[in-house]
Chain A
Amino acid sequence: MIPLFEILAEASFWAAALAIATPLVFGTLGALLCERAGILNLGIEGIFAAGALAGFLAVHLGADIGTAVMFALLTGAGIGFAHGLLTGPFGLSQPLTGIGITLLAAGLAAFAFTALFGPAPPKITALEPIYLPWISDLPFIGAALLQTPLTYVAIVLAFAVTYLFTRTPLGLAIRACGENPAAVTAQGRSVHALRIGAVMAGSALMALGGASLSLAAGSFSAGMVNGRGFICLALTTLTGWRTSLILVVALLVGAIDAYQLRAQKELALAPQIFLMIPFVVLIISLALTRTSRRPRALLFGSATDNDRDRD
């Protein structure tokens, strides 16, 4: 086995872990926005793929990084609007609609990519890490924090969403939609409007997660998402829907994944054994923990509040 403690002392290991954690932070923040509003968004896996393609296409067509990010955000918000509309006012089953959207978005992204580029797809210039004055010169931390701008955006967003939920009336209203929608209606606010808004914002973040994958890699492939969306959903329930823990757990999964990648190179075993490690760890953690902080309207609530869905 590879010496664990030596690896943990390497700055390059933590740099890799942070890079892997970046899309997970975006995705988990997005999933949290949807779920705290009371909507399960299983479309995440497909939205990741759509966002990854949107970011890739924008840069391929000559756009700068900011435009590429905007394009990905808009793509995600559009898909989120469809999910919010179908599960909110139309009251369709959230899990089934989400699975449909995931398969549709992932299928369309893969189809479009092959249709556009054929068997020999181009590459784009991968996003470079940025040098920050002061911070990048620090020993160890400086090297670990040498990241693409998107990583910094993810960290700032994690604090921003925490602030939204804990300190603003809008955040309170969104949370109320996930806990007690009837109370929101009694306040004279529209539950559907708030939920659609939250799902659109959440899906936009998920798409940004996908874009951060393709922009950092400098390429797109249909299998690039590979279950990351589902990992984000597992992290929301594992942390008990706490925004404050997202950075920590995402970094933890990133570290497990980085360690797994390192072990793959060292040990002569089938790569699949290593690739399944993060998923197995998460399933075991889900089995060993429980949570009392589940938004009360999430699914179980929606089945009683919104009786349109009966399958």
Chain B
Amino acid sequence: MNVIRLEPRLDISPALAAGAPIIAAGLALALAAIPLALTGIPVLRAYGLAAAGIFGSPAALGDTLARAIPLTLTGLATSLALRIRLYNFGAEGQLFAGALAAIAVGTGVIVAPPFLMIPLVVVAGAAAGAVLMLLAALIKLRRGGDDEVIVTLMLNVVMLFALQMTFTGPLDIATATVRSQPLIEQATLAWLGGVRLAVGFAFALAAIGLVYVVLRFTVWGFDIRAMAGDLVAARSAGIRVARMTLRIALISGALAGMAGAFEVVGTGYATQDIAGLGYAGIAVAVLAGRSPLAVFPAALFVAVLLAGAGPLKEVGASKSLADIAVALTILLALIAGLFTRYRLRWGRPVKTAR
């Protein structure tokens, strides 16, 4: 009997490896049109509106690019943890924790000049995110399974509730969302104007560079890559798997926490608008595959997805279209990864000794 079987590709061409996620991203963008079309919204006009919302004006482009900064950090956080099969689905909650810490520290409890205040707020955010992920990793190690998955997901819900409790500030007329209390002036980058985008990018790219160098050129990086292959082999090679898991958890949580703090520092307050940047980080990580360097273009793409869904409210589409696009990106990028490593063959089943 003939069956469809998956046959491993012996050598994977670099063009295929780079092209597959790009095709997946393009398909995700195209498939998001199906729900639009089904509801009778003119698809071309919708994409036109989306494009105008993404690139239409310098301000729109700036907003799109600004979104890529937290996405780079949450994507890097998820992707780094995935390397050792530590499932950090809690970038969302860690982002909220980072924002919360930034509000706690930056609203006037401590007053210092900006060159001290801003690093302090960002470090507080990183610490908050790191603590959350450390808790999840400790539970994973203690229970001996993959329970960090559930713990991080439940922490997302808890932290969203916690963040909502800070929304006691003024109502934002433009987006109809309630803000948190504002940060003191010394703790925000608002006075930098357009330059703050450059500062954010420099910071996000530095994080990527650092992770790349650690993974590629250090003993830690060697250990991490060994753990990515086979935990049993890594353990018998003398790698302290538990310790490395906790280290990665701390770094991963800190990256996502920093993303949250950075958002608050950038705008000077927190709103519900930062919700979703953590889950979208999963899409960034899956699109980027194993390479930290690919996190940046992946984050840019997901930023475009999120920015494009916003203006569609005008034609009656809800903002859940962004979630749909993000979800499609995750699923299609996973499937694209499968086709890079395997080819579909139609033929007789091969008997293999397993």
Contacts and interface: CB of A to CB of B under 8 A. Distances in A.
Interface of A: 40, 42, 45, 86, 90-93, 95-97, 99-104, 106-108, 110-112, 114-115, 182, 222, 226-227, 230-231, 233-234, 237, 270, 272-273, 275-276, 279-280, 282-283, 286-287, 289-291, 294, 298-300, 303, 308, 310-311
Given A95-B149, A104-B331, A230 B157 contact: yes
B342 interface: yes
15 contacts: A90-B338, A92-B338, A95-B149, A97-B331, A100-B328, A101-B331, A103-B324, A107-B320, A107-B324, A114-B318, A230-B150, A283-B151, A290-B143, A291-B145, A298-B146
A107 B326 CA distance: 9
B321 interface: yes
Q: In the complex, which of the residues B135, B151, B289, B335 has the most CB atoms of chain A within 10 Å of its own CB atom?
A: B151
B337 interface: yes
Contact of B324 (A91, A108, A182): A108
Contacts of A102: 327
Interface stretch (B82-90, B120-128, B180-188, B201-209): B82-90
B195 interface: no
Interface range on chain B (Cβ under 8 Å from partner): 35 or more
A299 B231 CA distance: 13
B348 interface: no
Contact of B162 (A93, A106, A276): A276
B243 interface: no
A97 B334 contact: yes
A40 B330 contact: no
B128 to A, nearest CB: 16
Contacts of A299: 145-146
A222 B320 contact: yes
A290 B158 CA distance: 22
Contacts of A92: 334-335, 337-338
B327 A272 contact: no
Given A92-B335, A114-B320, A273-B165, A237 B328 contact: no
B143 A286 contact: yes
A103 B158 contact: no
B155 interface: yes
Contacts of B331: 86, 97, 100-101, 104
Interface of B: 6, 35, 38-39, 82, 85, 87, 89, 135, 138-139, 142-147, 149-151, 153-155, 157-158, 161-162, 164-165, 228, 279, 282, 286, 289-290, 316-318, 320-324, 326-328, 330-331, 334-335, 337-338, 341-342, 354
Contacts of B154: 227, 230-231, 234, 279, 282-283
A137 B251 CA distance: 60
A227 B157 contact: yes
Contacts, number: 162
A-B interface, 9 closest residue pairs, ranked by CB to CB distance from nearest: A107-B323, A103-B327, A104-B327, A100-B330, A272-B161, A227-B157, A110-B320, A107-B324, A115-B39
A275 B159 CA distance: 11
Which of A106, A275, A279: most chain B Cβ within 10 A? A279
Contacts of A182: 354
Contact of A275 (B82, B161, B286, B321): B161
B320 A111 contact: yes
Given A272-B165, A308-B338, A311-B82, 8 more contacts: A42-B153, A86-B331, A86-B334, A103-B330, A111-B320, A270-B165, A282-B154, A308-B342
A107 B317 CA distance: 12
Contacts of A234: 150, 154
A276 B323 contact: no
A237 B157 contact: no
Contact of B155 (A110, A233, A283): A283
A185 B85 CA distance: 27
B330 A298 contact: no
Given A95-B149, A99-B282, A226 B157 contact: yes
The interface centre, meaning the residue of B82, B150, B165 with most chain A CB atoms within 10 A of its CB, is: B150
